[in-house]
């Protein structure tokens, strides 16, 4: 089997149809069909089910996909290192929303100060998504907070963050120095998306105390959440890192909730089998040494 076979296989998975994969790769559809057939014959497995003119990847196809992506990535890394030695370094980096808002640029600035220009492509999403993109070799490194599920992920602690409950000036609870769990019942919670770690950690604390809040707003964007809270639309659970400016200006207020503190560790993560190029090792060093608070 060749890298070409794996590239064609990956393209078919991502495009969902052989015709679209052929167009993406600028080759003929029969060439795509032949490559998939050769893969299936070589490994003696069925990679796709063909149902109602749709290609559905099989369990064995999913297994091959992981290794195919790793093989293609390693090949492309080798090509980059050998052909572009001494030129601009490139890293594919993923961060969770809070990290992307507060820490990422400091880390990139420190890298460039120490090692020179860095070509980065960045995806900012929730922790679960970043973890999945690393697992599928679409990202090199991630910087995330909270829980990482995959046991194959290496985790390097960078710093600690705290989740806090905040209110805007128009909200009645803004004027209180300390609140009780009972006062939160039926309050409107402007929350992150279902997969967000922010929801899981703090809201789990509320659930343990049988505190039910109204979830009328769901946002994927932290700035949208802050803006809604500033206008008194409800309360929100946010990273302390991304609200410091608003708290100092008095636009937002951290609600003191019965001496409760919800802290989480921020980690740099990458797959244990990841080939670490020189730029990746350098960036890992920056993250390991840059203790941010």
CATH code for the structural domain at 160-263 = 3.40.190.290
CB contact at 8 A, 70 and 61: no
pLDDT digits (tens, 9 = 90+) for 54-64: 789 999 999 99
Which CATH code of 3.40.50.300, 1.10.10.10, 1.50.10.20, 2.60.120.560 fits the domain covering 3-83?
Answer: 1.10.10.10
Confidence (pLDDT) at 228: 93
Contact between 9 and 45 under an 8 Å Cβ cutoff? The reply is no
pLDDT of residue 282 exceeding 70, the answer is: yes
For the domain with range 89-159+265-289, which CATH number is right: 1.20.1740.10, 3.40.47.10, 3.20.20.150, 3.40.190.10?
Answer: 3.40.190.10
274 falls in which pLDDT band (50, 70, 90)? confident
Same topology between domain 3-83 and domain 89-159+265-289: no
Q: What is the pLDDT of residue 156?
A: 93
What rounded mean pLDDT belongs to the chain? 86
3-state SS class at 151: coil
Residue-level pLDDT at 89: 67
Burial label, 234 (beta-carbon count in 10 A; 0-12, 13-18, 19+): buried
Local confidence band at 213 (pLDDT 50, 70, 90 cut-offs) = confident
For 72-98, write each residue's pLDDT tens digit: 988 887 877 676 654 546 789 999 888
Is 80 exceeded by the pLDDT of residue 219? no
pLDDT value of residue 283: 94
Quick: pLDDT tens for 128-145: 889 999 988 889 999 998
Is the pLDDT confidence value at 292 over 50? no
Q: Greater confidence, 8 or 196? A: 8
């Amino acid at each position: 089997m060749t890298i070409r076979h794996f590239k064609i296989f990956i393209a078919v998975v991502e495009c969902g149809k052989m015709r679209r994969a052929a167009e993406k790769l600028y080759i003929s559809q029969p060439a795509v069909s032949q490559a998939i057939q050769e893969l299936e014959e070589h490994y003696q497995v069925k990679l796709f089910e063909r149902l109602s003119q749709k290609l559905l990847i099989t369990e064995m196809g999913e297994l091959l996909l992981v290794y195919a992506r790793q093989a293609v990535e390693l090949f492309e890394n080798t090509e980059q290192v050998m052909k572009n030695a001494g030129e601009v370094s490139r890293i594919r980096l993923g961060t969770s929303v809070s990290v992307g808002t507060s820490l990422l640029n400091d880390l990139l600035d420190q890298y460039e100060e120490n090692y020179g220009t860095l070509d980065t492509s960045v995806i900012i999403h929730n922790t679960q998504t970043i973890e999945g993109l690393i697992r599928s070799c679409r990202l090199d490194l991630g910087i995330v907070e909270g829980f990482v599920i995959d046991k194959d992920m290496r985790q390097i602690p960078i710093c600690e963050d705290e989740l806090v409950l905040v209110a805007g000036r128009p909200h009645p609870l803004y004027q209180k120095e300390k609140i009780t769990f009972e006062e939160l019942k039926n309050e409107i919670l402007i929350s992150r998306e279902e997969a967000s770690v922010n929801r899981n950690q703090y809201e789990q604390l509320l659930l343990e105390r049988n505190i039910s809040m109204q979830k009328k707003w769901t946002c994927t964007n932290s700035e949208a959440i802050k803006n809604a809270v500033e206008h008194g639309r409800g309360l929100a659970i946010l990273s302390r890192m991304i609200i410091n400016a608003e708290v100092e200006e008095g636009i937002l207020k951290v609600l003191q909730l019965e001496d409760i503190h919800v802290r989480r560790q921020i980690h740099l993560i990458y797959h244990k089998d990841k080939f670490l190029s020189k730029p990746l090792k350098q960036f890992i060093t920056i993250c390991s040494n840059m203790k941010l608070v």
